[in-house]
Amino acid sequence: MSVPETMKAVILPAPGKMAVSRKPVPRPGPDEVLVQVAGCGICGTDIKIRDHGLPGQPPFGSFTPGHEYAGTVVAVGETVDEFAIGDRVVVHAHKGCDRCENCLRGMYTACLNYGNAAKGHRCNGITTDGGLAGYAVNHVNTLYKIPENVSFEEAIVITTAGSPLYGLENTGGYIVGETVAVMGPGPIGLMAVQLCKAMGAARVILTGTRENRLKLGRELGADLTINVREEDPVAGVLKTTGGRGADLVIDCAGGDDSLQQCLEMVKRGGKILLVAFYKGPVTADISIAVRNNVTIYTERGEGGGSVGRALSLLATGKIVAKPLITHAFPLEEVHQAYEVFEKRIGDPIKVLLRP
Ligand SMILES: [Zn+2]
Ligand SMILES: [Zn+2]
């Protein structure tokens, strides 16, 4: 396959600024492949990356964001036999250094050399160039072959399922017969609803503010939804669980009061999983957790190979992605795409860009 010398790429020249520029097409190292990007999703993290940058992010200038992408392998490094030219692949963002104690234990999303590219760490789209470009280089550890019955677009949306699935693994994973409350019907919350049902939860309660999102949540498997504009979510969860509270509460909302609500709606001895990033410091009566023997779990990114596992759930029909794909733009219209996403024009769930 012939690979051009240069490509179109989104760059971040200064805080809050984006531009479509031309950059050299990167070349794969010995254990890397070159992916011709078919599409790249944007999420809330991309707004933070554009506006002020995240820890480990390269200086503003020619850095290319985009951490949710899929495409076709067009070149492989000399040691690569895991992938071949022509393979359709989807990525996960984090590649650990493979030399720190966390990486040795498989916790590559919590790599102790996070942001240190010289030591082998990469997080494409966050600390190293990402997929809002014609091509991207990926280490073989960060790629999954897309099953034949799955489209590029669906595979891109599946990257969103990686974090809640890894979070569920961290909580112990076994939720058969349990009642799970999911706060926040964004793409991650809607994936969390589906994952919990696929993994055997007896009942999933979804809370949020927008009726059309809650309706979609019900279509995707939520047994009960609570519109927090009309009903107090804590009272709603307690009412439907006979006053006990949910076995597991997953915060995909990240609101100022959502941690407090998690503490008040989880059962004694239950679990809380924090998936959302909060906008800033939040206040909650953490003594409730101590008094009630509640355990709080977190996750960082899509550890545990969870993008690949979620892809398998999709390929076997246990979860779906298509209803979450609402908007797609050519790469040149990146400003418009971000505007639609940020201002929620036309109720976007997942906005994709196609180079
Ligand atoms: Zn993201
Ligand atoms: Zn590491």
pLDDT tens, residue by residue, 152-172: 999 999 999 999 999 999 999
Contacts of 263 (CB under 8 A, 6+ apart): 272, 284, 285, 286, 288, 289, 294
Q: Record the tokens describing residue 21, joined without a space.
A: 């520029």
Spatial separation of the C-alpha atoms in residues 80 and 85, rounded to whole Å: 11
Q: Where in 140-223 does DSSP place strands (E)?
A: 143-145, 179-183, 203-208
φ/ψ of 310, rounded to 5, equals -65, -35
Angle, CA of 275, 280 and 284, to the nearest 5°: 75
Give residue 349 CA to ligand 1 midpoint distance, Å: 12
Cα–Cα distance measured from residue 74 to residue 28, given in angstroms and rounded to the nearest whole number:
10
* β-bridge partners, 37: 71
The rounded radius of gyration (Å) of the Cα atoms in the chain is 20
Ligand nearest to the CA of 341: 1
Residues of the chain with pLDDT > 70, as a percent, come to 100
- What is the C-alpha separation between 25 and 6, in angstroms, rounded? 5
Joined tokens for residue 165: 């699935």
Checking if the pLDDT of 262 tops 90, the result is yes
CA–centroid distance, residue 142 to ligand 2 (Å): 14
Q: Counting ligands in written order, which one lies closest to the CA of residue 113?
A: 2
Give the pLDDT band (50/70/90) at residue 92: very high
Instruction: Report the share of the chain in percent with pLDDT over 90.
Output: 99
Q: What is the pLDDT of residue 181?
A: 98
Pick 151 or 1 by higher pLDDT: 151
Distance 304 CA to ligand 2 centre (A): 14
Number of other CB atoms surrounding residue 159 within 10 Å: 29
In this prediction the pTM is 0.96
Do residues 319 and 153 touch, judged by C-beta distance below 8 A? Answer: no
Q: Is the pLDDT of residue 279 over 80?
A: yes
3-state secondary structure of 111: coil
Q: How far is CA 326 from CA 102, 206, 221, 264, 337, in A?
A: 37, 20, 19, 34, 11
Query: Could you tell me the two tokens for 5?
Result: 């010398």
Indicate the average pLDDT of the chain.
97
pLDDT digits (tens, 9 = 90+) for 112-154: 999 999 999 999 999 999 999 999 999 999 999 999 999 999 9
Question: Residues in the chain, how many?
Answer: 355
If one counts every other C-beta atom within 10 angstroms of the C-beta of residue 8, the result is 17
**How far away, in angstroms, is 288 Cα from ligand 1 center?**
31
Q: Which two tokens stand for residue 104?
A: 């040795």
Q: Which of 144, 109, 101 is nearest to 309 (CA)?
A: 144
Around Cβ 346, how many Cβ atoms within 10 Å? 9
Distance 290 CA to ligand 1 centre (A): 32
Quote the pLDDT of residue 2: 87
> 236 CA distance to ligand 1 centroid (A)?
30
CA–CA distance, 289 with 269 (Å, rounded to integer): 9
pLDDT tens-digit map of 223-248:
999 999 999 999 999 999 999 999 99
Contact, 154 vs 181, CB < 8 A? no
Using the mean position of ligand 2's atoms as its centre, give its distance from the Cα of residue 34 in Å.
Answer: 23
Q: 1 pLDDT exceeds 80?
A: no
How many angstroms does the Cα of residue 109 sit away from the middle of ligand 2? 8
Gap from CA of 102 to ligand 2 centroid (Å): 6
Ligand number with the minimum distance to the CA of 101: 2
| 1 CA → ligand 1 middle, Å | 30
